[in-house]
Amino acid sequence: GAGVSQSPRYKVAKRGQDVALRCDPISGHVSLFWYQQALGQGPEFLTYFQNEAQLDKSGLPSDRFFAERPEGSVSTLKIQRTQQEDSAVYLCASSLVFWGYGNQPQHFGDGTRLSIL
Amino acid sequence: QQPVQSPQAVILREGEDAVINCSSSKALYSVHWYRQKHGEAPVFLMILLKGGEQKGHDKISASFNEKKQQSSLYLTASQLSYSGTYFCGTESDSGNTPLVFGKGTRLSVIA
């Protein structure tokens, strides 16, 4: 497809379960970002990949959160032992090249809405 | 530190103009503007870089005042399709830092 694709679109899990969220960036995009968006808030940075290298994971809220992009294209965000406060929309974005975070537009996917019961 | 957007919400009639402001307490390198409709992806509008520039396309334009650490988004002759939540994302002048997004401004355009 032409845009960033995320799956699943919606995910409901019980507290304590592990979840995996997938992101397919735009083909050829070097940079990939994960954000968490709480209701009524702006996206909040979680982590950044340049190709397969995770260059910044300063936004991951705890060691229960883990992200990977093993072949430099598809990325997975995994949350272990989910808690209610993990409920949010998780957005993925990609950009063509890396010139620093601010020089390039980021193209967002529609997100995965995660609900923890 | 999170930029502050104002107003929090605004209602316009078709054809009216609006200004959305984004202010930071830190020196900025760049400001991004995005629009997000409910349940959809944020859509890129424009980037403004340090240097105090102004950009625009169609009836949406923006300015970046480096000294004031503030950016403004100008929407002229608003259309129904302009409805959504507008976010600014800022990158600090220290460089290579993740974008920090404001809480958003909800814009509703009514006929």
Give per-residue pLDDT as tens, A4-52.
Answer: 999 999 999 999 999 999 999 999 999 999 999 999 999 999 999 999 9
Q: Look at residue B95 in the predicted model and tell me its pLDDT.
A: 66
Q: Look at residue B66 in the predicted model and tell me its pLDDT.
A: 85
Question: Could you write out the DSSP letters of every residue in A4-59?
Answer: -EEE-SEEEE-TT--EEEEEEPPTT--EEEEEEE-TTS--EEEEEEETTEEEE-TT
Q: Look at residue B54 in the predicted model and tell me its pLDDT.
A: 67
Kindly list the residues from chain B whose CB atom is less than 8 angstroms away from the CB atom of residue A109.
Answer: 41
pLDDT > 90? residue B58: no
**What kind of fold does domain B4-110 have according to CATH?**
Immunoglobulin-like (2.60.40)
Kindly list the residues from chain B whose CB atom is less than 8 angstroms away from the CB atom of residue A43.
Answer: 42, 87, 89, 101
Residue A78 belongs to domain spanning: 5-110
Count how many pairs of residues, chain A against chain B, have C-beta atoms within 8 Å: 65
Q: What are the sequence ranges of the domains in chain B?
A: 4-110
Kindly list the residues from chain B whose CB atom is less than 8 angstroms away from the CB atom of residue A60.
Answer: none
Residue in chain A nearest B41 by alpha carbon:
A110
CB B88 within 8 A of CB B31: yes
Nearest to B29 among A41, A44, A102 (CB): A102
Q: How many domains does chain A have?
A: 1
**CATH of residue A15:** 2.60.40.10
Q: Do the domain assignments include residue A116?
A: no
Q: Give percent above pLDDT 90 in chain A.
A: 90
Residue in chain B nearest A108 by alpha carbon:
B41
Q: What is the mean pLDDT of residues B24-40?
A: 92
Q: Look at residue A1 in the predicted model and tell me its pLDDT.
A: 54
Q: Report the range of poorest mean pLDDT among A1-10, A56-65, B11-20, B53-62.
A: B53-62
Q: Look at residue A100 in the predicted model and tell me its pLDDT.
A: 64
Q: Look at residue B49 in the predicted model and tell me its pLDDT.
A: 85
pLDDT > 60? residue B90: yes
Q: Look at residue B96 in the predicted model and tell me its pLDDT.
A: 74
pLDDT > 90? residue B55: no
Asked if A42 and B30 come within 8 Å (Cβ–Cβ), the reply is: no
Asked if B103 and A107 come within 8 Å (Cβ–Cβ), the reply is: no
Q: Do the domain assignments include residue A93?
A: yes
- Rounded to 10 degrees, what is the CA torsion of B95, B99, B103, B108? 120
At A103, is the pLDDT very low, low, confident or very high (cuts 50, 70, 90)? confident
Q: Which residues is B64 bridged to in the sheet?
A: B71
